[in-house]
Amino acid sequence: MAQPDGRLTTDLDPQERAPQDACGVFGVWAPGEEVSKLTYFGLYALQHRGQESAGIALSDGERILVYKDMGLVSQVFNEATLDSLQGHLAIGHCRYSTTGSPVWENAQPTFYSAREGGLALGHNGNLINTPELARMLPDERRGATTDTEVLTGLLADNPDRSTEEAAMELLPKVRGAYSLAFMDETTLYAARDPQGIRPFVLGRLENGWAVASETAALDIVGATYEREIEPGELITVDERGVRSMRFAPAEPKGCLFEYVYLARPDTTIAGRNVNSSRAEVGRRLAKQHPADADLVIPVPESGTPAAVGYADGSGIPFAQGLVKNSYVGRTFIQPSQTLRQLGIRLKLNPLREVIAGRRLVVVDDSIVRGNTQRALVRMLREAGAAEVHVRISSPPVMWPCYYGVDFATKAELAAGNLTTEEIRASIGADSLAFIDLDELVEATEVPKNRLCRACFDGVYPIEVDEDSRGKYLLETSGGNATERPLAGRAQR
């Protein structure tokens, strides 16, 4: 499974999943443009944020058509499909499930009939008062199995209000992380939670406007970055241009883990380029936790910027000691037990002539359960490494995320249960060190009080009720994924 920067995971090792983000969202209003293709390439740039399913909702001004399916963006759409999606307005979504099962019925954008037309919505993040919101749905809307579907149903269930009015009434009641791109037949809408936990930006096209989870998606479609969508802001885009409304005061708490792992390195968040931030973390890591070694090698690709920074800060030469297989994607073929044990070799293979006899500093972005690092250290030793010193460009991940990143539970997190020395012994490294939280924060150039650091320090900016926890919350509380209005490939 391709991850940010091309980092790869597969389904071979169920005991070790990299942290997954909730989704990528994209929206465009551009009369005269091929908006289906703009949306396709916007989603292609955001593929790292979700690989389970992809979809596009598009309007020609009279009706909304939704096309979505399981798989990567390039697998769901082809030239003929995109050519058949004609209109001036579209939203797109690529999904990794953090609420609801990874099934076709839960793919996004979601769609409901609304007033005299329809409403489609894509969501990045996780809500934390979903049961409360679900109880607000009318009986005929009950059975939603994702927080996104609950939001869509509530926005659509306002026959006497415009979409804009419905959103301004509903959004102040919604708690949690949400970057939303939604649409009716004529207007593109974008909204961001008051904490601004997930990134969300606005860009200008020659003949219109675009919104996206990351600036890299704007770059890909040729849009000029205008600004971030502000926390607590709703914007609308139609023939009158862009209008902004505030539904809640801004209380910025952007996700710190976006800088560590989730975002693309060519993305800019809060004015700070992600690649520059990661390289600075590496330099700080070298000063804080030096090692007597011959080479610095990254775990490609998400560990590469920090490894470059570590080499720069330490004076130890940088080398590519691991080769990544760029063509390993998600696989549904179950391997034999022997191949399962060697699963990491599908993703990474050591360059023996670089590694043999050398003392290595291996730089990675984070440790979740530790199984990947354990296999990696073993593989490097088998390739002849004299010493393996692991350096991690984030603090220990000790707490789960409830705002749109699918971390393991605290009981499964290595750092949630073991000391650094115990983790070192578990993975078999000669030494192990993590960057300090304050050093990481300083590398982002964002004030600490404007960042969500919960996965590192357990301080959650939005209190999470016990009743609102759990990926399958709605499915286990009576949600029914088999009777749902216009799910999947839907046309009003």
pTM of the prediction? Answer: 0.88
pLDDT of residue 98: 58
Query: In angstroms, how far is CA 73 from the centroid of its own chain?
Result: 15
302 in a known ligand binding site = yes
Tens-place pLDDT, residues 264-311? 999 999 999 999 999 999 999 999 999 999 999 999 988 999 999 999
Neighbours of 435 (CB within 10 A): 23
d(CA 44, CA 35): 14
d(CA 189, CA 158): 16
Compare 58 and 329 and report the one with higher pLDDT. Answer: 58
pLDDT of residue 27: 98
Domain 274-446: give its CATH code: 3.40.50.2020
364 in a known ligand binding site = yes
Report DSSP letters for 379-443, one per residue: HHHHTT-SEEEEEESS----S--SSSB-PPPTTT-HHHHS-HHHHHHHHT-SEEEE--HHHHHHH
d(CA 112, CA 141): 9
Kindly list the distances between the CA atom of residue 474 and the CA atoms of 129, 173, 267, in Å, as whole numbers in the listed order.
12, 19, 34
Which residues are known to be catalytic?
Answer: 23
DSSP assigned state of 8? B
Q: Where are the alpha helices (DSSP H) in 53-146?
A: 73-76, 79-84, 130-134
Compare 24 and 492 and report the one with higher pLDDT. Answer: 24
Q: Kindly list the domain boundaries of the chain, sorted by start residue.
A: 4-253+475-491, 274-446
452 in a known ligand binding site = yes
State what percent of residues in the chain have pLDDT above 70.
82
Whether 434 contacts 396, CB under 8 Å? yes
For residue 184 the two structure tokens come to 């009716």
Tens-place pLDDT, residues 12-65? 343 344 555 568 999 999 999 999 999 999 999 999 998 889 999 999 999 999
Amino acid code (one letter) for 67: Y
pLDDT of residue 13: 40
d(CA 226, CA 201): 8
Tens-place pLDDT, residues 150-191? 999 999 887 788 999 999 999 999 999 999 999 999 999 999
Please, what is the end-to-end C-alpha distance for the chain in angstroms? 34
For residue 291 the two structure tokens come to 């090692």
Tell me which fold the domain 4-253+475-491 belongs to: Glutamine Phosphoribosylpyrophosphate, subunit 1, domain 1 (3.60.20)
